[in-house]
Amino acid sequence: MASSLLRQISSSADFSKLKNSPPQKGEQYQPTDVEHLANVITHGLWILPSALALVFMVYMSNSGLQLTTTFLFGFALVLLFTTSTIFHILSYSGKFPAWRRFFHIGDRAVIYVFIASSYTPWLILKEFHSWAEEVLCLVWILALLGVAYAYIYHEKYKFLEMVFYIGVGLCPALCVLDMKDWSGLVELSIGGLMYILGVFFFKSDGIIPFAHAIWHCFVFMGTFCHFLAICTHLLNVRFLEYA
């Protein structure tokens, strides 16, 4: 009974109208109008909250180092959502091809900057047995190389791009295990897992309707976990006291 009902619903719902065909090799996926709209909304919604998160972290900082490192994370957060939203608006409009290309490169490049900005507060504010400074330098060198790669090889070698994102995102995590105390590791891992699960949807354009918007949601959940982790374990905010 239940299975026949499900079959009826899935056959009557025409999912083909919600998405277009997957892109050919070397081409970009063309989202449907409703997918374009979802792409704009799912990141545009978080620009203002991330600006408020930035102000909150700065307000809760008790030292110069806390202030500068959490400002960096908050600024990267605002930059991430803003760049993505502008790119998706331009993409939806179908106009201004030069600006669209600029913001498309920016949308990809800012991910590297965001990864480095996410690690920086932990590598500076936490105590480590060793390697923290070296890993911090390495993370930023990789991020700058990633930005250059996004600019030079825009939309080419997409698989390699994916390997770079995951490599730059995950390798420094090994250093985090070297922290003198492991507080925050659970939230950091859950956040990281959100990004990794999201990659599945990032690569599913034209296969799953709204795949890119779902990827956006995973990005937001990852950033939210990392924001909570920074507030709780690096700024010592006790959220329950504010509830």
129 is in an annotated binding site: no
104 is in an annotated binding site: no
Q: Smallest distance from the beta carbon of 202 to Zn ion, in angstroms?
A: 8
If you count them, how many residues does the chain have?
A: 243
**Which lies closer to Zn ion via its Cβ, residue 46 or residue 122?**
46
Q: Which of 236, 183, 186, 193 is nearest to 218 (CA)?
A: 193
**Which lies closer to Zn ion via its Cβ, residue 38 or residue 235?**
38
Q: Smallest distance from the beta carbon of 107 to Zn ion, in angstroms?
A: 6
- Report the C-alpha gap between 151 and 153 in whole angstroms: 6
Beta carbons within 10 angstroms of residue 116's beta carbon: 26
Q: Smallest distance from the beta carbon of 97 to Zn ion, in angstroms?
A: 18
Q: State the amino acid at position 39 in one-letter form.
A: N
The site map against Zn ion for 65-104 (x = CB under 5 A) is -------------------x--------------------
Question: Residue 230 is encoded by which pair of tokens?
Answer: 């920074």
**Which lies closer to Zn ion via its Cβ, residue 219 or residue 235?**
219
**Which lies closer to Zn ion via its Cβ, residue 39 or residue 117?**
39
The site map against Zn ion for 192-221 (x = CB under 5 A) is ------------------------------
Residues in binding contact with Zn ion, number by CB under 5 A = 1
User: What is the 8-class DSSP label of residue 179?
Assistant: B
Q: Smallest distance from the beta carbon of 201 to Zn ion, in angstroms?
A: 11
Q: Pseudo-torsion of CA 196, 127, 69, 135, nearest 10°?
A: -60
- Report the C-alpha gap between 104 and 190 in whole angstroms: 28
Q: In which residue are the tokens 């770079």 written?
A: 164
Q: Which SS3 state, helix, strand or coil, does residue 236 take?
A: coil
Helix, strand, coil share (%) of the chain residues, nearest 5: 75, 0, 25
88 is in an annotated binding site: yes
Q: Smallest distance from the beta carbon of 43 to Zn ion, in angstroms?
A: 6
**Which lies closer to Zn ion via its Cβ, residue 81 or residue 122?**
81
Beta carbons within 10 angstroms of residue 50's beta carbon: 24
Binders of Zn ion among 100-159, rule CB under 5 A? none
Phi/psi region, residue 22 (left: phi>0; alpha: psi -120 to 50; beta: rest), is beta
Q: Which residues are annotated as a binding site?
A: 88, 212, 216
- What is the binding site for Zn ion (CB under 5 A)? 84
**Residues marked as binding for Zn(2+)?**
88, 212, 216
